[in-house]
Amino acid sequence: MNPAYQEPWYHRATLYHIYPLSFADSDGDGFGDLKGIIQHLDYLNDGTSESLGVEAIWLSPVYVSPMADWGYDVVDHTAIDPRFGTMADFERLLAEVHRRGMKLLLDYVPNHTSILHEWFEEARASRKSLKRDWYIWADPAGDGGPPNNWLSRFGGPAWTLDETTGQYYMHSFLPEQPDLNWRNPGVRDAMLDVLRFWLDKGVDGFRTDAVYGLVKDKVLRDDEPNPNYRPGISDPADMFSRVHSSGQQELGSVIGSFCEVLAHKADTFLLSEAYLNIAGLRDLYQACREHPLHAPFNFNLMGLSWGAHYFRSFIDEYEAMLGPNDWPNYVLGNHDRHRLVKRVGPQRARLLGMLQLTLRGLPVVYYGEELGLSDTHVNKNQRRDPWGIRVPGYGLGRDVARGPMPWNSDIDAGFTTGVPWLPIASTAAHLNVEQESRQPSSSLNLYRHLIHLRTQSPALTEGDYRSLQLDNPYVYGYIRETELQRFLVILNFDNHHAVVTLKGKVGAWVAGTEVVDGDGQEPLDGLVELGPYEGRMYELIRGGK
């Protein structure tokens, strides 16, 4: 290998996902903003082991938006919404992020724009408009209803009638978010320019929103009935399998075009949002084989059945699917899902945190996950998320996972001096940055310790992954190793004590979910007793196996 070759930053980094509306409010309007983020960058990485130690940040959208979907409805892709600050604030944020040795990724929203975007205003003005074909239009069905059975993810049909021109326009999400037509070359050019604009500004990559639905069936065929759909129980938007309204073959070339743009700038990275199984992920990796700077998010850990066996077999299979240049990643939560602790409970959450931070691949940590936050209670009259409001009764509202970041034990959690846009969690008095920093075994210190170990240990960043057949079926174990360094991770998926016998020469206990720093001791006779949901990492001494 070329001695000058350096691993790309995303092989080392932990990616921290900030939902800007809820991270820190600097001007007292109750909404988080860019200056608020700047004020807290030292928390993320101040160059010492006192800080969390993440090396990359992804921001949910900060572009000009009427906020129908809280920023995922973009009016101007290359300007900052005043609610978040100014372009000068953004440039300062970027400089401050870089000064701390971190990378900054933006959220790229190519599937749709806001209904107020000038492209859509031009498109809807007349059937003859030059931009008409930039969006997806169709005549009403025979009965005057929507052109086909496609459903919006956020309730109701994916079509809204435009009275003036007598045609329906298509929207995968809200009626306020018309879908762009990626079969139109003008759309492609304009949207690729958006990538270029931010790359020129200095950003290091993008998380790409709603990728899977970018290209739709050309002749708008109906979606097919979903055999797993349970009326009254399933999300009504899942009544049909989206075989024609999403996932078209042409998608590969669109993602490929993103990669081509990014390939012009060194050290950039692209993550695509698509909820796919291993076979689906493989196809998306293929899209950028020429420029391996792209990975589809791996959301699968969020949906696995609980058990050492399920996790081991999924991760083994995922690892086996990856090509030599494909970089894995693991996500445990985001702004669209209930928080990790809500889904699995606090102990299992710590175990999964340890799993994520010791596997091979980019760990993506959603703000507050490191604090062990659960969902926030949000009353009916406090709701903000249009999805939960439009489709009540199914637990779909996402506000619960988007609460203000708790910085300290003050009444407003140090988030704002005004009225927070979403309520402060009732747990904020004890689960917050200031308190947890002082408690050696807090969730924050667990994350901090593991993130630092990770960045400093070649075995955890570039090292191979190999799972082990242990003598206890409740314990998932694996080795991470380079030629010079070896670690063994053992995770007890059971809520009882578990004993495992480790083979070979096992060295010091260096990290764990209970004793965060480990105790530095070697296990006696290779025997380790793990408490319920306990995880540990040991150094392995070479010559053992």
**Contact with ligand NOJ (CB under 6 A) among 76, 217, 283, 336:** 336
Taking the complex as a whole, the smallest distance from the CB of residue 365 to ligand NOJ amounts, in Å, to 16
Choose the one of ligand NOJ, Mg ion, none that binds residue 72, judging by a C-beta under 5 to 8 angstroms depending on kind: ligand NOJ
Please state, in angstroms and rounded to a whole number, the distance separating the CA atoms of residues 374 and 4: 44
Tokens of 148: 């086909």
Q: Is 25 annotated as catalytic?
A: no
Q: CA 400: distance to chain centroid?
A: 16
Q: What is the per-residue binding string for ligand NOJ in 120-159, x denoting contact by CB under 6 A? A: ----------------------------------------
DSSP 253-264: HHHHHHHHHHHT
CB nearest ligand NOJ: which residue? Answer: 72
Question: From the list Mg ion, ligand NOJ, none, which binds 210 (C-beta under 5 to 8 Å, kind-based)?
Answer: ligand NOJ
Q: Which segments of 14-105 does DSSP mark as H helices, in order?
A: 34-39, 41-44, 87-99
- Residue 322, C-beta contacts closer than 8 angstroms, at least 6 positions apart: 285, 328
CB of 143 to ligand NOJ, least distance (A): 29
Residues in contact with Mg ion, shown as a per-residue x/- string from 326 to 365 under the rule CB under 5 A: ----------------------------------------
Q: Which of residues 19, 33, 137, 213 is near Mg ion by CB under 5 A?
A: 33
Rounded Cα distance between 464 and 8, Å, is 16
Selected from 25, 33, 55, 69, the binder of ligand NOJ by CB under 6 A is 69
Q: Smallest distance from the beta carbon of 441 to ligand NOJ, in angstroms?
A: 33
DSSP SS3 for 269: strand
Size of the site for Mg ion (CB under 5 A): 5
Assess contact for 450 and 443: CB atoms under 8 A: no
Catalytic residue among 209, 223, 326, 385: 209
Binding partner at 336 among ligand NOJ, Mg ion, none, C-beta below 5 to 8 Å by kind: ligand NOJ
273 annotated active-site: yes
Per CB under 5 A, 31 contacts Mg ion:
yes
Which amino acid type is present at position 90?
A: F
Contacts of 243 (CB under 8 A, 6+ apart): 223, 224
Residue 264, CA atoms < 13 Å, CB-side half-sphere: 14
CA distance 209 to 300: 17
Residue 332 has φ and ψ, to the nearest 5°, of: -115, -10
Task: Choose the catalytic residue: 107, 273, 399, 534.
Answer: 273
Between the alpha carbon of residue 70 and those of residues 23, 272, 402, the distances in Å are 14, 20, 11
* Closest distance of CB 91 from Mg ion, Å: 18
Q: How far apart are CA 536 and CA 522, in angstroms?
A: 12
Closest CB to ligand NOJ among 182 and 533? 182
* Angle (CA) 210 216 221, round 5°: 135
- Interface with Mg ion, residue 179, by CB under 5 A: no
Q: Verify binding: residue 235, ligand NOJ, rule CB under 6 A.
A: no
The yes or no reply on residue 43 touching ligand NOJ (CB under 6 A) is no
Nearer to Mg ion, 89 or 223 (CB): 89
Q: Which does 179 bind (CB under 5 to 8 A by kind): Mg ion, ligand NOJ, none?
A: none
Contact 38, 25 (CB under 8 A): no
Alpha helices in 84-172 (DSSP H): 87-99, 118-125
Q: If binding is defined by CB under 6 A, does position 72 make contact with ligand NOJ?
A: yes
Spatial neighbors of 307 by CB under 8 A, at least 6 apart, are 474, 493
Contact flag: residue 17 with ligand NOJ (CB under 6 A): no
Q: Which is nearer to ligand NOJ, 60 or 432 (CB)?
A: 60
CA atoms within 13 A on the CB side of 416: 21
User: Which residues in 264-323 contact ligand NOJ (CB under 6 A)?
Assistant: 273
Smallest distance, ligand NOJ to C-beta of residue 336, A = 5
C-alpha closest to that of 435 among 413, 409, 411, 405: 409
CB nearer Mg ion, residue 82 or residue 232: 82
Amino acid at 460: L
End-to-end CA distance of the chain: 27
Q: Which of 22, 25, 210, 422 binds Mg ion (CB under 5 A)?
A: 25
Q: How many CA atoms lie within 13 A of 140 on its CB side?
A: 11
CB of 409 to ligand NOJ, least distance (A): 30
The HSE-up count of residue 256 (CA atoms within 13 Å, CB side) is 10
Least distance in angstroms from the C-beta of 299 to ligand NOJ: 11
Are 162 and 168 spatial neighbours (Cβ–Cβ below 8 Å)? Answer: yes
In the list ligand NOJ, Mg ion, none, the entry touching 29 (Cβ below 5 to 8 angstroms by class) is Mg ion
> Is residue 108 at the binding interface for ligand NOJ, with CB under 6 A as the rule?
no
Q: Is residue 173 close enough to count as binding ligand NOJ by CB under 6 A? A: yes
**350: nearest Cα among 436, 222, 419:** 436
Q: Is 179 in the site for ligand NOJ (CB under 6 A)?
A: no
Partner from ligand NOJ, Mg ion, none contacting 25, C-beta within 5 to 8 A by type = Mg ion
**Candidate list 176, 179, 209, 436; residue touching ligand NOJ; CB under 6 A:** 209
- 365 contact choice in ligand NOJ, Mg ion, none (CB below 5 to 8 Å, kind-dependent): none
Rg over alpha carbons for the chain, rounded to the nearest Å, is 24
Does position 122 bind Mg ion by CB under 5 A?
Answer: no
* Closest CB 481 distance from ligand NOJ, rounded Å: 35
Applying CB under 5 A, the residues found at the interface with Mg ion are: 25, 27, 29, 31, 33
So which residues are the catalytic ones? Answer: 209, 273
Applying CB under 6 A, the residues found at the interface with ligand NOJ are: 69, 72, 109, 173, 209-210, 273, 335-336
